[in-house]
Chain A
């Protein structure tokens, strides 16, 4: 089971900040984000356990995936 956290405007769009998914691949995860198409989800930065990962990454049980968009402020 992968614990997923979404931040930034993506969280407002998804309507939820934290959920769990039983997925193995990044593609599966990106296709399972609420209120978001896979194409939209592909434009989010993915970190697993705090580190950037490639699209070929295979999830392990207990991983924490974070999705967020680029941001700016001041």
Chain B
């Protein structure tokens, strides 16, 4: 449906893989105003189809690939796209914000989103060129690893003059084909990593989608957007985190800070510090292995690392991989992590869930629950194990199920480190309890980003009290909603760091920074006021360029209050859909290791006071004691239609 707004191509395509029927999916301007794009738009589409009875591996499931209005607009770090689906890993909906270039080319092909449903009769790949859809057989590329697949597809898209048509791709590797529950979808070297999106695509027998086209991406007020973008780029380049730390050290630069703050998950989250952290740190990576830093399209941050593995220049590990395959399994050998990181991407496995499943298995072996031959510090066989997981061979067939299911079979639920079936990220939450709440309440499961990433306040960027419950619930809600909307708009979540004024990050010892650190936990009521009545924030914050950028791109009015309200709508909509699949307060849980066992026996606060945090959080969110959005909350957010299904 055509649109009056800039930033949108005005068309959503639905492809039924079973019947090969291609149709335009109606998405109106009223829906764009409420559901924006990205993961919120995807939640609306999923919510219109899923009743709570569907299974991830079924023809009723949908794989929804969405862009945001800022995708390809030229705004900083705006090449992002999102993939949402009913997750085979959690049984709830998952969403994954990805870099790469597929989102940009999907828009160049004239589409805001792509809805895939059904199942191909034979392995296939799809070519979309200027919104025309062509099915191709994929038997010759089925079984290929992800970079080989992408090269083979480029060859197929070669034009008469020998050049490859400019295109963006998403594809799966062997892990997705073999339905590993935490397999991912890859675009260039970037990954839609979490929740098993790759397995859904594999079940659909869809190896890849290529998009290309020459449509112009419209911008509502080009002149103002160009000026604003220049200012925005400058701001990001001058910010200490996005202009200095991330370009120089990447996300890996956090390892040392996490060690100092006792939040470096070590030996399957049994500790927050690792004696040999320096050998697997971001500094070591930067000084000895990084060749050059890279970025996605229009990204001034350029946080990606490039390293050499077996004579090839490949993507280096992100923080999560570095920690979970380093301290997480007591491995101090950085070259092995560089190699595994590359291999896992090639196989199409989510490095976070894979590493945590391995560390669970190591501990289960150590405790005699499951003799599987995996041992902490002993990593010689891991390359083979990763292949075995992707191809579902031997022990790999079991590891492909993830730590939750394995703990149900072999025991050790207390140390199977997941939330809602998805393994946690690399931050040990007993010394960052706000992030602990985020992990537990995140719609897609144990995710730091969907969880609100409060650890940025709890010791990394700022240094508020890491273990107090005060203020954490309200701040978690604010950050979850903010990041929900940044993602929906089509931007990288790292642009959210601009929310922290530069002086606070540059001068951690200044009186005003110390004051913020002291006072922030007591600001819960004030944050609650903004969360509850965001309309009072009817302004553009000087440090937050997103709202003006959104207005200039789309032509919609978007003050800061509107922005977080949209994020809140998305968060609640996902929650409401998950309610249909059985989510409630009992599912917002963490393993007992994190809630009942002290990280530091001398510090009675060094565990996640989850029940207390949840109580405040539910109240702040306008959810009832069962952890479900009330009718009043849904009505306020204009998503009361979503509650009609089986409430």
Q: Contact residues of A with B, CB < 8 Å? A: 7-9, 11-12, 17, 42-45, 47, 50, 66, 68-74
Closest CB-CB distance, B125 to chain A, in whole Å?
Answer: 31
A-B contact pairs, 15 of them (CB 8 A): A7-B256, A7-B283, A9-B244, A12-B286, A12-B287, A17-B278, A44-B508, A45-B463, A45-B509, A47-B260, A70-B241, A72-B246, A72-B456, A73-B319, A74-B494
Q: Contact: A12 with B319, CB < 8 Å?
A: no
Closest CB-CB distance, B59 to chain A, in whole Å?
Answer: 35
List the B side residues contacting A74 at CB < 8 Å.
251, 318-319, 448-449, 453, 493-494
List the A side residues contacting B319 at CB < 8 Å.
73-74
A50 to B256 Cα, complex, angstroms? 12
A70 to B456 Cα, complex, angstroms? 9
List the A side residues contacting B249 at CB < 8 Å.
8-9, 12, 71
List the A side residues contacting B281 at CB < 8 Å.
7
Interface positions, chain B 419-468, Cβ under 8 Å from A, are 448-449, 453, 456, 460-463
A12 to chain B: closest residue by CB: B248
Interface positions, chain B 473-522, Cβ under 8 Å from A, are 493-494, 497, 505-509
List the A side residues contacting B505 at CB < 8 Å.
70, 72
Q: Contact: A70 with B453, CB < 8 Å?
A: no
List the B side residues contacting A42 at CB < 8 Å.
509
Closest CB-CB distance, A3 to chain B, in whole Å?
Answer: 13
A17 to B249 Cα, complex, angstroms? 14
List the B side residues contacting A9 at CB < 8 Å.
244-245, 248-249, 253
Q: Contact: A73 with B246, CB < 8 Å?
A: yes
Q: Count of chain B residues with Cβ under 8 Å from any Cβ of A? A: 40
Closest CB-CB distance, B395 to chain A, in whole Å?
Answer: 31
Q: Contact: A8 with B283, CB < 8 Å?
A: yes
A9 to B449 Cα, complex, angstroms? 23
- Is B143 interfacial (CB 8 A cutoff)? no
Interface positions, chain B 119-161, Cβ under 8 Å from A, are none
Q: Contact: B460 with A70, CB < 8 Å?
A: yes
Q: Contact: A8 with B493, CB < 8 Å?
A: no
Closest CB-CB distance, B144 to chain A, in whole Å?
Answer: 29
Choose one: A43, A44, A66, A73; the contact of B253 (CB below 8 Å): A73
Given that A17-B278, A45-B463, A66-B260 are known contacts, is A73 also in contact with B254, CB under 8 Å in the complex?
Answer: yes
- Is B240 interfacial (CB 8 A cutoff)? yes
Q: Contact: B506 with A71, CB < 8 Å?
A: no
Closest CB-CB distance, B640 to chain A, in whole Å?
Answer: 33
B277 to chain A: closest residue by CB: A7
Q: Contact: B241 with A72, CB < 8 Å?
A: yes
Q: Contact: A68 with B456, CB < 8 Å?
A: no
Given that A43-B509, A45-B509 are known contacts, is A72 also in contact with B286, CB under 8 Å in the complex?
Answer: no
A66 to B254 Cα, complex, angstroms? 15
With most chain B CB atoms within 10 A of its CB, the pick from A66, A69, A74 is A74
Q: Contact: B460 with A72, CB < 8 Å?
A: yes
Besides the contacts A43-B509, A73-B254, what 4 more A-B pairs have beta carbons closer than 8 Å?
A12-B286, A72-B245, A74-B251, A74-B318
Q: Contact: A72 with B278, CB < 8 Å?
A: no
- Is B257 interfacial (CB 8 A cutoff)? yes
List the A side residues contacting B253 at CB < 8 Å.
8-9, 71, 73
List the B side residues contacting A69 at CB < 8 Å.
240, 245, 508
List the B side residues contacting A71 at CB < 8 Å.
241, 245, 249, 253-254, 257, 460-461
List the A side residues contacting B278 at CB < 8 Å.
17
With most chain A CB atoms within 10 A of its CB, the pick from B251, B283, B507 is B283
A68 to B453 Cα, complex, angstroms? 20
A12 to B250 Cα, complex, angstroms? 13
B506 to chain A: closest residue by CB: A43
B286 to chain A: closest residue by CB: A12
Choose one: A44, A47, A66, A72; the contact of B497 (CB below 8 Å): A72
List the A side residues contacting B318 at CB < 8 Å.
74
Closest CB-CB distance, A36 to chain B, in whole Å?
Answer: 14
List the A side residues contacting B286 at CB < 8 Å.
12
Q: Contact: B283 with A11, CB < 8 Å?
A: yes
List the B side residues contacting A17 at CB < 8 Å.
278, 283
A44 to B368 Cα, complex, angstroms? 46
With most chain A CB atoms within 10 A of its CB, the pick from B257, B281, B318, B462 is B257
Closest CB-CB distance, B509 to chain A, in whole Å?
Answer: 6
Q: Contact: B448 with A7, CB < 8 Å?
A: no
Closest CB-CB distance, A13 to chain B, in whole Å?
Answer: 9
List the B side residues contacting A50 at CB < 8 Å.
260
Given that A7-B256, A8-B257 are known contacts, is A72 also in contact with B508, CB under 8 Å in the complex?
Answer: no
B510 to chain A: closest residue by CB: A43
A72 to B248 Cα, complex, angstroms? 12
Q: Contact: B508 with A45, CB < 8 Å?
A: yes
Q: Contact: A70 with B260, CB < 8 Å?
A: no
With most chain B CB atoms within 10 A of its CB, the pick from A9, A44, A68, A73 is A73
B483 to chain A: closest residue by CB: A74
A52 to B427 Cα, complex, angstroms? 21
A72 to B463 Cα, complex, angstroms? 12
A14 to B344 Cα, complex, angstroms? 35
A70 to B287 Cα, complex, angstroms? 19
Choose one: B283, B462, B493; the contact of A70 (CB below 8 Å): B462
With most chain A CB atoms within 10 A of its CB, the pick from B252, B253, B449, B494 is B253
Interface positions, chain B 254-304, Cβ under 8 Å from A, are 254, 256-257, 260, 278, 281, 283, 286-287, 303
Choose one: A7, A12, A43; the contact of B257 (CB below 8 Å): A7
Closest CB-CB distance, A55 to chain B, in whole Å?
Answer: 8
B505 to chain A: closest residue by CB: A70
Closest CB-CB distance, B250 to chain A, in whole Å?
Answer: 8
A73 to B281 Cα, complex, angstroms? 13
B513 to chain A: closest residue by CB: A70
